[in-house]
Structure 1
Amino acid sequence: MHFFKIVLVVIALCFVTYLGKSNAATPYDIFQFVQQSPYVFCLGNGICGNPPVLRHTFTTHGLWPSNFTDPSASILCAGTLFDRKQMNADHNLQLLLSNSWPNFNNRRTNMDFWEHEYNKHGRCSDNKFSQTQYFHEAHRLWLTYNAQYLFSQTTGIVPGHQYDYIDLESAIRRTIGGKTPLLMCKYHRRITYLQEVVICFDYNAANPVDCVRTTNCGALVSYSL
């Protein structure tokens, strides 16, 4: 009888461990792939150096597992925290991310930025992607859906000009299968600047889907890089 009790306890512990692993990440519906204009991010904030060293293209802000019910809210992640040893061991990945996902805040390093974004967002999906897979997915999305490239494809929208919000949104929409993107803006000295372009993807980060958040931009938006 004592033997069978021990067996039952072992089985129960294994089951709990399995549940812990299978529920390591918080459930999510979609990914929000968020790109930012380095110029607009640094505009007026005093944390990018003087003069700031910028990439003159959209770069990655984050890849955020989110829920349709409230995509503007961060979901509380239960997945594994960022492991710097994994990133330090993959020099090729660091090189890729230094181009697609660089940090412009002088108060932190690239590694600090990646760690912050992964701990806040990325680990929510660690039942789908390992840490390394997650960052490779983000780089792949940047290569395929770089907003500057998408803007230029169908309408010739180029930096340095003002455009109607609807024209900017439509330019992205036409290049992602008619799905609705989200554009977010920054207001500086009475000018509305395009700061972020958000493209939403399905659970597997494979196919674009409609974004359902509400923009904060006005009707006329300045596009600057």
Structure 2
Amino acid sequence: MKFSETIVAMVLGIALSFDIGGNMSCNAAGQYDYFQFVQESPFVFCKNITGKGCNILPLPRIFTIHGLWPSNFKHRHKPCVGAQFSRDVMNEASNDELRADLELSWRSFISGRSNMDFWEYEYNKHGKCSDHIFSQTQYFDRARSLWKQYKAHTLFSNRSVEPGKSYRFTDLEQAIRSFIGGRRPLLLCMQSEWKKKTKQYLLEVVICFDDIAINPVNCPKRMSKECLPQSPVWYML
């Protein structure tokens, strides 16, 4: 299958319902163990589907937020029951600066879906699980703070890992580990066939945090989508 076909087939699954390890949802506020802070490469997400799905050109050469997901280590829960996303709250004048920052850091790349649509979807599926700790505004502010502190593209460049090259999985993983106290991140790849060979492209970087989304913790091993350690990983932005 061509890379473009692979991306098109997986876009909605990745952008709208991507379940890391089958354990990221919770069935009520507070019933989770840790947070997954997920950043994605717009280039890899949108590669070869320009005009078909991605709605921003030129693409930003940074990792942007996919989500901040309350998660459980051992099992999957039903959708949580916290309060629904409020556009009125997000549009309050006191949130003007927050919205401006999110327009850069947490962007929708799917045609027909606004940034506000994306935030609403992610909050209703994940964010409201933590509404006993974070208000809606506090939740998005925490995601913004994590992005400013742990921008994946900055962490890589600080270890001389630059876009447009392939790297060993261990080198990419260590570049992230070195900034999160040696804790284990997750590196998720999109794989494609190229001249009868499989190439993998770094799609997402997941850094896990404790149940108040402050201190990095080890991400659990997952069952699928993680980059293959034995194969080179292309880092593209």
TM category (shorter chain) comes to 0.7 to 0.9
- Among 153, 158, 161, the alignment partner of 1:157 is 161
Deviation at 1:220, TM superposition (A): 1.0
Deviation at 1:99, TM superposition (A): 1.1
- Structural mapping, 1:75-114, within 5 Å: 76-89=79-92, 90-114=95-119
Deviation at 1:24, TM superposition (A): 5.8
Aligned-residue RMSD, C-alpha: 1.7
**Could you say which residue in structure 2 is the equivalent of 1:142?**
147
Which residue identity lines up with residue 87 of structure 1 in the other structure? M
Distance 1:74 1:166, change over 3 A: farther
Question: Any stretches of 5+ residues in structure 1 without a counterpart?
Answer: 1-22
Moved over 3 A (4+): none
Q: For this pair of structures, how many residues does the alignment match? A: 199
Deviation at 1:44, TM superposition (A): 3.4
Structure 1 Cα separation of the partners of residues 61 and 160 of structure 2: 17
- Among 28, 31, 43, the alignment partner of 1:27 is 31
Distance 1:160 1:222, change over 3 A: same
Deviation at 1:74, TM superposition (A): 6.6
Deviation at 1:189, TM superposition (A): 3.8
Which residue identity lines up with residue 88 of structure 2 in the other structure? K
| Larger of the two Rg values belongs to structure | 1
Distance 1:75 1:167, change over 3 A: farther
Structure 2 Cα separation of the partners of residues 185 and 140 of structure 1: 25
Which residue identity lines up with residue 48 of structure 1 in the other structure? C
Larger proportion of helix: 1
**Could you say which residue in structure 2 is the equivalent of 1:44?**
48
- Among 157, 167, 170, the alignment partner of 1:166 is 170
Say if 2:28 and 2:79, in contact at 8 Å, map to a contact too: no
Question: Any stretches of 5+ residues in structure 2 without a counterpart?
Answer: 1-26
Structure 2 Cα separation of the partners of residues 150 and 164 of structure 1: 16
